[in-house]
Amino acid sequence: MKIFATYNIKGGVGKTASAVNLAYLSGQSGFRTLVWDLDAQGAATYYFRAPPHIKGGSERLLRRKRNLPKAIRATAYLNLDLIPADFSLRNLDIDLSSEKNPERRLRKLLSSVKDNYDVAILDCAPTISLASENVIHMSDWLLVPLIPTHLSIRAYDQLKEFFVSNALDTNHLLPFFSMVDKRKRLHRDLIVEFAAGNPELLRTYIPYLSQIEQMGVHRAPVGAYAGTGVGGRAFDALWQAIMIRTVLAPQVGSS
């Protein structure tokens, strides 16, 4: 099972939209896919029309590996299951701190279902915390959506610095631009500037479109209601770029 996480220190960058759409496309590609919503706001859970409920809350979920499979829910989409979020995840850091080897606990839990899935996609809260350290350590790749603004790029620089200072492999970072308006010169210039200094950048982007914002209206991935539209094609191009960069197709299911 290959583990991806959509993660950014900064909020409001299209993290959950990316997780939901990439998971949908993973399932459509034939990969048995699991989405784990780790954000107490439960946006991914909402998009997949799942009840925002973890029986016993995050504390009970962490106790035993066998509790994780019980939390998994089917979605309406091919090859795609979900571990929903609820508001108890606001206490996830506190609950993790009481566990043995807290920075590795989530990986141990996820290992209980590794034979059932080819791909896991984690949707994470925009923080640096004990929970996010779990995600960083357990993920094969961090998918980092960036808005072409100075603050968003600064947040990525901070994340990269965190990796370097903790002797983590920056090759596991896969940034891409989201909510791009190519009519804006600032967006165009920042993308070019960032690409010149960050060769890890995925060379495809997600445009700023009302079609993508309508995910909240449809409570569905873009591909489910506008797969041939500009937004649907953009996410498909991003998914193809991720598969190429990570050599996902020949490796998936091998671990």
Domain range spanning residue 172? 2-251
pLDDT at position 59 is 64
- Ordered DSSP codes for 11-53: SSSSHHHHHHHHHHHHHHTT--EEEEE--TT-HHHHHTT----
Percent of the chain with pLDDT over 70: 89
80: β partners? 33
Q: What is the pTM of this model?
A: 0.91
Measured CA distances, 38 to 44, 88, 123, 131, 246 (Å):
9, 10, 6, 9, 23
Q: What is the CATH number of the domain that holds 101?
A: 3.40.50.300
Q: How many domains are contained in the chain?
A: 1
Lowest mean pLDDT among 65-74, 94-103, 183-192, 237-246: 94-103
pLDDT at position 131 is 82
pLDDT at position 232 is 97
Mean per-residue pLDDT, 126-132: 79
pLDDT at 254 over 50: no
- Ordered DSSP codes for 198-250: -TTS-S-EEE--HHHHTHHHHTS-HHHHHTTSHHHHHHHHHHHHHHHHHTHHH
Q: What pLDDT digit, counting tens, does each position of 211-230 carry?
A: 999 999 999 999 999 999 99
Q: Which residue has the higher pLDDT, 16 or 252?
A: 16
